[in-house]
Amino acid sequence: MTFLTDTELPAGLTAGTWNIDPSHTEAGFTVRHAGISKVRGAVTVTSGVITVGATLPESTVSVTLDPATISTGDAGRDGHLKSADFFDVETYPSWTFTSTAVRVEGSVLVVVGDLTIHGATKSVELTTEFNGTATDPFGNYRAGFSAETEISRKEFGLTWNAALEAGGVLVADKVKIVIDGSAIKAA
């Protein structure tokens, strides 16, 4: 989909409130492990609102995630990630993203905002693809989207690591975040 200007909403996307549907939205991540492989995981998006303005720059996004739901397919690793060594979910029970700007770059939207993880807030840019709209069998008018960004985990105070015998470290600094989701237009 190509956006002609940032003042033109994509076909089917109408101004108003769109509530993120947690059961059809996933936040995933990928990080290099031991320098030779990648570990993938997911975190539950618990709530969110997209407020579409009359123009894209007037639009906003806010989302909350639950780090206690982190899942990588390995219970031991998940427990370690939830501990004080990493996300310390007892002290920091939620992550948030609040947009500060939306702009158009060719065929993608760039949603800029403040991401808070582990009590640290940093500005990130989510390269976002609008995937269209549809009415589901239950009468809900939905919009679909995909977004991705890359962060430095050290910038969020996530510094735990272990040195490898051959050099390097166990957990890379760069983490790729990918979000696939659906939002329902509020009545």
H or E element, residue 177:
strand 171-185
Smallest CA-to-CA distance from 113 within 175, 173, 62 is with: 62
Distance in angstroms (rounded) separating the CA atoms of residues 138 and 110 = 31
* Residue 116, beta-bridge partner list: 96, 121
Cα separation, 37 vs 57, whole angstroms: 39
As beta bridge partners, residue 44 has 66
* pLDDT tens-digit map of 65-115: 999 999 999 999 999 999 999 999 999 999 999 999 999 887 788 999 999
- pLDDT at residue 54 in the model: 92
Three-class DSSP category at 161: coil
Residue 1 has pLDDT above 60, yes or no: no
pLDDT one-digit tens code per residue, 17-71? 999 999 999 999 999 887 778 999 999 999 999 999 998 889 999 999 999 999 9
Residue 11 has pLDDT above 80, yes or no: yes
Domain 16-185: assigned CATH number = 2.40.128.110
- Lookup result for tokens 């939002």: 183
As given in the structure block, the two tokens for residue 20 are 């993120």
Neighbours of 43 (CB within 10 A): 22
Confidence of residue 6 (pLDDT cuts 50, 70, 90): low
Question: Does pLDDT of 123 surpass 70?
Answer: yes
With a CB cutoff of 8 Å and minimum separation 6, the contacts of 147 are 111, 126, 127, 128, 129, 178, 179, 181
Q: Per residue in 129-184, pLDDT tens?
A: 999 999 999 999 999 999 999 999 999 988 877 777 777 777 888 999 999 999 99
Q: What pTM did the predictor assign?
A: 0.90
What six digits make up the tokens of 131?
Answer: 């995937």
Amino acid 25: pLDDT: 97
